[in-house]
Structures are given as structure tokens and as C-alpha cells.
Copies of this chain bind each other. A is one copy, B any other.
């Protein structure tokens, strides 16, 4: 079915930039850790370091939420935890259904991060009759025939798709038809959903390919080789032999997270080269 088209101008959510929203969970995690150690306050510098971002960005992010800090002092940990949780909508419990209980689905079902962060596994669903009733991570698997009933009765609005790519779109369509409006897709497929439905995807092979791209580049511009890795000169196979250049940095990394930065030193390579 593949309903309507997917892309829209991707507007900002409230006044909060999407990029900021994506970092709030990071701050929340760091704050939770501080909270557990009973640390009362943190400076933007400390928190930023713990979350793996720079302090200016963190302060800017928080400024979208309001003025929750105290100049000359920092931020109250507990208060911030509360504010961010509220902003993310974690003060309520979101029931989630996981469809496709294979290796991955089972891994997700057993993920401890659910309960602790505002989510609850409402049901595990699989199309294989042999799986029905079998408990996975303590939760009995239900047959996909009951998908609509489950979603409707439990008021589920978030669904996780961990099925093979081939059936992902149909599963998606059924979830949406039943009332789900947010989907986390682990299947390597582009899902089509009606307007108003959010889809986020996680794809291992894409991540690896992005790493391979950078890896290839490193191999090509190692010290000594200043010629670009153009069409010719295929790089070496297993590119080990590369020794860590700089020493471990103090407390934080230069970059991290899903945002990848670019780093290659390299001068200015003209852009591209036709074959």
C-alpha cells in the first residue's frame, strides 16, 4: 500500500530545533548518572563533556527549553532531569509493541533501557505460529493476527519493526491503520507512511558503510601519501597497520555520537574527479 509521500519540509517541532531534540536524550542520560551520584549541580562545561558535545551547543540547546541554570553556578541536576524528561514526554509511560521476534527483536525485548526510560513493552508480535505463546524476555509472543487488537486495546502509539525487509511495509501499514503514529524501523527498507506518522530508522549496514568510507579515506591519505585516492589506486585490503596517531585525549573525545564529524587533515583536494 504505501500510502502517501513521505517528505515534508521537516519543520521544527515547537520552538525546539530537531537537532536539539536529538541531543536531549544524551543530556538526560548524563544527568541521570550525575543524579545517581548525588551530584547537586553541574556547569555547562562538565555536562557537555559528559554528553560528548561542546558547552556552547549545550547552553544553546538549553536556552530553547528555558532558563534553567544559574549564572555563576551552573544547573541544578534534579531540576534539569525533570525538565528534560517532561520536554521529551517521558513523564508518562509509552506502551511499545515490537513486531518481528527474531534475534534482533529478542534483543530489543530484553533491552533494559525501556522501563527505565519511560517505555514499556506492551507486546511482542511475530508471524510465526511456532513462536506464539513462547516467552521472550519474560513476555509471551503473540501472533500477528492479533496485531490490530493489541494496538487498539493497549492504546499503543509507538511501534518497533524488526521484521525482515520483505514484510516491513505491510507490517507498517497495519500498525498505522491500527493507530500507531510513531515507528522505529530496523528493517533495511524505506517505509512509506501517511502524513502525520513519524518514522525513524536504524540501519546497521548503512552505519558500517559510512565507516568504511572514512576508513578508506584514512588509508589513502596516511602520512606520506598525499595524492588523493582517486579512481585509480585501489586501497589496501585489510587496512590495519594504522597506528593511533595522537595520544588519548583528556576526558572527552573529539567527536562522537551519531554525528560524525569529518576530520581528515588533508589540504585541499579538488572536488571529485570524473572517471
Contacts and interface: CB of A to CB of B under 8 A. Distances in A.
A67 B274 CA distance: 7
A89 interface: yes
A193 interface: yes
A129 B25 CA distance: 35
Given A64-B246, A228-B155, A18 B190 contact: no
Contacts of A270: 15, 104, 186, 202-204
Interface in A8-27: 8, 10-16, 18-19, 21-22, 24-26
Q: At the interface, is chain A mostly helix, strand, loop or mixed?
A: loop
Contact of A64 (B21, B50, B116, B272): B272
21 contacts: A1-B53, A3-B252, A6-B258, A10-B257, A14-B250, A30-B190, A66-B245, A104-B107, A155-B240, A179-B243, A184-B211, A191-B256, A192-B248, A192-B249, A194-B247, A196-B218, A197-B255, A200-B257, A204-B267, A206-B266, A208-B267
